[in-house]
Structure 1
Amino acid sequence: MRSVRDARVRRRLLRDVDVHEDIVDEVHHHRVVYTVPAVELVLAAAVFYLFLVSSVQVGWLLLVVIAALLGHAGWRALLQFMDVFVVTNMRVFRVTGVLSSKHATTPLSRILDITVDQPFLGLLLGYGHFTFESAAQEQGLRDIRYVPKPLERDLVIQRHVQASGLRGPRPDHHRR
């Protein structure tokens, strides 16, 4: 699945003769998003134990519950795994979806403000949430949740926007 996810990201990069887009940062969700699927797997294991010690009359129902728990846990984990936020030298974009694909993009020049929210648990575990304010207000890019190392990633974006000259002169240019 990793190769499928990576291919979906690489296909969206601009690779023309005049334009060469490079990935600055590729952001996958923090591992905390897999907590609920992991709990569902533990529940499925507990129900499987009940299946082993139960009568035949209720065994089929327990198998259905196990299948539902495993299916839901797998689907939920796969949705999180396939959700990727990418920062390039030209834009930010997000690719989501499993059976279908949704792609949202905003040029770096349109990003007006980034709010980083780290709840208490996020401070302890090292994740946070981004809220992008942009001129276009792209709904697919407004909220990026469960970003690992959010302060470092915010600095990467801010430095890249500044270095590209999108917010005033480049730091290496000195006026004479």
Structure 2
Amino acid sequence: MLRGVFDPDIRRHLLREEGEVIVDEVRHHGIVYVLPVLEVVVALALVVAVPFVDLDLAWFPFALALAILLHAAWRALTEHMDRFVITNMRVFRVHGVLSQQLATMPLSRILDITVKKPLHGRLLGFGHFVFESAAQEQGLRDIRFVGRPDDRDLAIQRVVQRSGLRGPRVSN
């Protein structure tokens, strides 16, 4: 039951009657969980420090640790619920915890994909996508912390090519 609450239901957004299938469901790279883990470490350090403070004020480090733990859990859940999906017809992103947002772009509207890989991203295996389309602003412009960005870029290019949107392949 908890899996249904804490996991976005990607399949319900598919156009099954039209033959849409998932090519790749992209979760954030593990690097996004570093800050929530550091927050948990800080909260645990506060709890360990409680015996060394005045007993009249012992509630304060516990309350602060609880607040930090809740913030870390919320942050981790926010990252976990953010999904980027590549299908044979479109790309879309579902994100949000209490309320969800869905941003969709048909493959025919993708004009350009920029893959940005900062130095630490190249070392750790993640990058960021920037989608350019005919529209000026769309909800699917920046997709950050994508694991194996080159493979995902190739998957999108392959799907676009197979759909015939970029013209026929030329053989030598």
What interval of TM-score do these two structures reach, taking the shorter chain for normalisation? over 0.9
User: Superposed, which structure 2 residues align to 1:74-153 within 5 Å?
Assistant: 74-137=73-136, 139-153=138-152
* 1:2/1:168 CA distance change after superposition, 3 Å: farther
* 1:41/1:98 CA distance change after superposition, 3 Å: same
What's 1:56 paired with? Answer: 55
Provide Cα deviations, 1:23-59, integer angstroms capped at 9, x if missing partner.
0010000000001000000001100101133222221
**TM-score between the two structures when normalised by the length of structure 1:** 0.91
Q: CA deviation at 1:111?
A: 0.2
User: Superposed, which structure 2 residues align to 1:19-38 within 5 Å?
Assistant: 19-38=18-37
Q: CA deviation at 1:136?
A: 2.7
What's 1:71 paired with? Answer: 70
1:11 counterpart SS class:
helix
Distance in 2 between the 1:85 and 1:59 partners? 44
What's 1:8 paired with? Answer: 9
Q: CA deviation at 1:63?
A: 1.2
1:139 counterpart SS class:
coil
Range with bigger deviation, 5-14 or 35-44: 5-14
Distance in 2 between the 1:136 and 1:5 partners? 32
Distance in 2 between the 1:37 and 1:167 partners? 42
**TM-score between the two structures when normalised by the length of structure 2:** 0.93
Q: CA deviation at 1:119?
A: 0.3
* 1:15/1:36 CA distance change after superposition, 3 Å: same
Q: CA deviation at 1:131?
A: 0.2
Provide Cα deviations, 1:114-151, integer angstroms capped at 9, x if missing partner.
00000000000000000000123453210000000001
Provide Cα deviations, 1:53-103, integer angstroms capped at 9, x if missing partner.
322222111111101110110000000000000000000000000000100
Amino acid at match of 1:94: R
2:155 counterpart SS class:
helix
**Contact 1:114–1:130, Cα closer than 8 Å, also in 2:** yes
**Contact 1:90–1:108, Cα closer than 8 Å, also in 2:** yes
Amino acid at match of 2:15: L
2:139 counterpart SS class:
helix
Amino acid at match of 1:9: I
Range with bigger deviation, 100-109 or 47-56: 47-56
Matched, 1:157 2:159: no
Distance in 2 between the 1:95 and 1:5 partners? 13
Q: Which runs of 5+ in 1 are unaligned?
A: none
Q: Which runs of 5+ in 2 are unaligned?
A: none
Distance in 2 between the 1:48 and 1:67 partners? 9
* 1:7/1:50 CA distance change after superposition, 3 Å: closer
